Amino acid sequence: MSKNTPKAIRGTQDIFGADAEAFAFVVETFERVRKLYRFRRAEMPVFEKTEVFSRAIGETTDVVSKEMYSFNDRGDTSLTLRPEFTAGIARAYLTNGWQQHAPLKLATHGPLFRYERPQKGRYRQFHQIDAEILGAGEPQADVELLAMADQLLKELGIEGVTLHLNTLGDAQSRDAWRAGLIEYFEAVSGELSEDSQERLHKNPLRILDSKDSRDKAFVADAP
């Protein structure tokens, strides 16, 4: 190899040999299981207008504010390499008139991109499998996704998995909780981290995830 040969970009990987076979096995198993559950295959662009992700994920999240690969094209339009699948799927669902097929069960897989600090098991270009049910408000849709995921794990030979369920409540209780959080954190806003001060009125629930010691002192007693 020449000394001038460029190396792979940090946070990416070349997959070969046994690793490539294992990678293919995961994808093939996912494809087989999603067909059993009648999830339809979909392909979305690798990049979207930046607003697709900033509006859907939230401008105050770390993904949007710190981790997205964004750039302006020659037409000076801000574009972003997809950091996750759901926002692009929702955009396609709305702009292509896929509502006529609701409830719509979609599945996809492929590379995603986040500018994170590379470490073991975390890459800047990584791969995900994804399943979504759009246009269904019933809890049975969530149950179906969980059942599909459970079968996928079993067919991949992955054991010892424990499921933890959580809920943020319905729209009314979420709004009341959000108002309670804002009132609570406003009283100590001057002692919060800069990130949490910015999130206070935009997305106060994000403060609860803060790793900053200044925030942790108040999070424990939050409503």
Write the pLDDT tens digit of every residue in 159-183. 999 999 888 888 899 999 999 999 9
- In this prediction, what percent of the chain has a pLDDT beyond 90? 75
Domain span including residue 175: 171-219
- Please give the pLDDT value at position 64: 65
User: Rounded to two decimals, what is the model's pTM?
Assistant: 0.80
- Please give the pLDDT value at position 171: 85
Domain boundary among 124, 155, 186: 155
Residues 38 and 117 grouped into a single domain: yes
Residues 47 and 98 grouped into a single domain: yes
CA angle 60, 115, 29 (to 5 degrees): 105
- Please give the pLDDT value at position 59: 58
The arithmetic mean of pLDDT across residues 43-66, rounded, is 79
Residues 125 and 94 grouped into a single domain: yes
> What CATH number corresponds to the domain at position 61?
3.30.930.10
* Cα dihedral 84, 88, 93, 95 in deg (nearest 10): 170
Residues 41 and 142 grouped into a single domain: yes
Could you tell me which of 81, 130, 86, 111 has the C-alpha nearest to residue 12? 111
**pLDDT tens across 121-136, in order?**
889 999 999 999 999 9
What are the residues whose beta carbons fall under 8 Å from the beta carbon of 9, sequence distance 6 or more? 124
- Please give the pLDDT value at position 79: 96
**pLDDT tens across 22-50, in order?**
999 999 999 999 999 999 999 999 999 99
Tell me the three state secondary structure of residue 126.
strand
Using the CB atoms, write b or e for 203-221: b if 16+ within 10 Å.
ebebbeebeeeebeebbee
- Please give the pLDDT value at position 65: 63
Q: Which residue has the higher pLDDT, 63 or 13?
A: 13
Residue 89 · residue 132 · CB < 8 Å: yes
Pairing of strands 104-113, 40-41: parallel
206 inside domain: yes
Half-sphere exposure of 128 (CA within 13 A, CB side): 17
Say if residue 19's pLDDT is above 90.
yes
Residues 85 and 40 grouped into a single domain: yes
CA angle 206, 207, 212 (to 5 degrees): 125
Residues 134 and 70 grouped into a single domain: yes
The answer to whether the Cα torsion of 54, 58, 64, 65 is positive or negative is positive
3 inside domain: no
- The CA distances from residue 127 to 9, 12, 13, 28, 180, in Å, are 16, 11, 11, 14, 38
| Number of domains into which the chain is organized | 2
Residues 105 and 56 grouped into a single domain: yes
Distance (Å, whole) CA 112 – CA 73: 19
Distance (Å, whole) CA 41 – CA 201: 39
